[in-house]
Structure 1
Amino acid sequence: MILLCPPGVYRAQSDTDLLAGHLTGTATGRDVLDLGTGTGALALSAWRAGAASVTAVDLARRCVATTRLNCLLHGTPVRVLRGDLFAPVAGRRFGMIVANPPYVPSEAAVLPRHRAARSWDAGPDGRAVLDRICDAAPDHLTDDGILMIVHSQVCGPQATLDRLERRGLRATVVDRSRIPFGPVMRSRAGLLERRGLVAPGDRLEELVVVEARRG
């Protein structure tokens, strides 16, 4: 799928592809919410997988404009909203929520708001956005709803499972993939080693897809 990706917008990569591969069969007939849509890659994938409707949300104006344009170019009727995670869809519930949030550990706890780095910087443990999604998602899922998140093993997949289960969801890792570090992870290799998040010299990253449903 060819997508426009102007400067400052996160380009769909291996993590997006890994999650998109799980939408076929699961998104069919569901109202889908794509959080942090970026270029709209997951929103478009959900529609192609047979979603009943797709809503895409992003905080960045540039991402919202890019997703709208990509949906227009692909003839896809996705509703695109600007705002912080669930704020634009307050009070709504969805049959499926998908997210490829920022998850790269960063030096600073304060997240950038006006730079491309806000697409990947996620605080010292990489969980600044992940934890917010885990905490709020159950309030926006239908009774048979599904949450699917992709992130790196450096963020601690077990922490994601535990947090979702404390919120009443049954969570499992449904896919894993080891890939070479991309540019951002390579630039943070020293930081990740010092924090014990990767072994010395390890330049392979494991991506995980977490699926959560009501128990």
Structure 2
Amino acid sequence: MLLRLPGTYPAQGDTRLLTRTLVELDLAGGRDVLDVCTGGGALALAAARAGARRVTAIDLSMRSVLTARANAVLAGVTVDVRRGDLFAPVRGRRFDLVVANPPYVPAATDRLPRHRPGRSWDGGTDGRAVLDRICDDVHRVLAPGGHLLLTQSVLADAERTVERVTAAGLRAQVVARAPEPFGPVMRRRAELLRARGLLRPGQDHEELVVIRAELPAAVEAPRVA
């Protein structure tokens, strides 16, 4: 159980799926890990417990930052929690693993909320306002041979995520899937999403995926005899 201040994203099915995948793939042990869009810090804590050498977590929300810091103290692990916009607080650093559970729920508008709980899930009209930024920029904070683990709904086009990170120079694939019953947000948006053709009539669940992407290690130039 995690401490959660009001307005902080609660750990749900997407968090659990990404945590389980992180542990099963054993990507955190002995590595420098970055958790962006950390919320209450669940993934950062999971990485620390999995033996990460160092864990840094980032969120735009001060409430989330305070919550993640408190949860790290309560869990007895060390996490450097910073406030900021995605990778900005760690510009110039490189990590072996980046984990991300970003906002991805398609919304009625592209205007993202800033001071309301909806900032934790609203992803613009196609759900990709934050996803695309992560896809385009994650290579700047990954060490050669480093990995990205990202979770999202297929309603925000998981294939596009694979294509986008591939275009940025990473090798990517979906490595985990799980059905997720609609929560309150999705139930409120069901009619909007049906009108866009994203949901079937009567559909009451979505599919969550985890995408794994790897930045190839630098290839050493052949020596000239």
Query: What TM-score, normalized by structure 2, do the two folds share?
Result: 0.94
Map 1:105-120; keep pairs closer than 5 Å: 105-120=106-121
SS at match of 1:8: coil
Aligned equivalents of 2:93, 2:200: Cα separation in 1: 42
Map 1:77-116; keep pairs closer than 5 Å: 77-116=78-117
| Structure 2 residue 151 is the aligned partner of structure 1 residue 153 | no
The offset of 1:197, in angstroms, is: 1.1
Aligned equivalents of 1:127, 1:201: Cα separation in 2: 24
Question: What is residue 139 of structure 1 aligned with on the other side?
Answer: 140
Aligned equivalents of 2:46, 2:98: Cα separation in 1: 13
Question: What is residue 9 of structure 2 aligned with on the other side?
Answer: 10
The offset of 1:214, in angstroms, is: 2.3
Question: What is residue 44 of structure 2 aligned with on the other side?
Answer: 43
Q: Which amino acid aligns with 1:5?
A: R
Aligned equivalents of 1:167, 1:200: Cα separation in 2: 36
Aligned equivalents of 2:65, 2:42: Cα separation in 1: 12
Map 1:20-99; keep pairs closer than 5 Å: 20-24=19-23, 25-99=26-100
Structure 1 residues 76-111: Cα deviation after superposition (integer angstroms, max 9, x where no partner) = 110000000000000111000000000000111110
Structure 1 residues 6-37: Cα deviation after superposition (integer angstroms, max 9, x where no partner) = 21000000100000012221111110000011
Question: What is residue 122 of structure 1 aligned with on the other side?
Answer: 123
The offset of 1:200, in angstroms, is: 1.7
SS at match of 1:126: coil
Which is higher, the Rg of structure 1 or of structure 2?
2
Q: Which amino acid aligns with 1:208?
A: V
| Structure 2 residue 172 is the aligned partner of structure 1 residue 171 | yes
Aligned equivalents of 1:22, 1:53: Cα separation in 2: 19
Q: Which amino acid aligns with 2:135?
A: C
Kept after mapping to 1: 8 A contact 2:180/2:206: yes
Q: Which amino acid aligns with 1:45?
A: A
Kept after mapping to 1: 8 A contact 2:34/2:56: yes
Kept after mapping to 1: 8 A contact 2:97/2:146: yes
Aligned equivalents of 1:208, 1:23: Cα separation in 2: 13
The offset of 1:65, in angstroms, is: 0.5
SS at match of 2:203: coil
Q: Which amino acid aligns with 2:33?
A: V
Kept after mapping to 1: 8 A contact 2:22/2:149: no
Aligned equivalents of 1:46, 1:74: Cα separation in 2: 12
Q: Which amino acid aligns with 1:31?
A: D
Query: What TM-score, normalized by structure 1, do the two folds share?
Result: 0.98
Structure 1 residues 32-80: Cα deviation after superposition (integer angstroms, max 9, x where no partner) = 0000111000000000111110000001110001111110111111000
SS at match of 1:196: coil
Structure 2, unmatched stretches of 5+, are 217-225
Structure 1, unmatched stretches of 5+, are none
**Stretch deviating more after TM superposition (166-175 or 195-204):** 195-204
Kept after mapping to 1: 8 A contact 2:106/2:125: yes
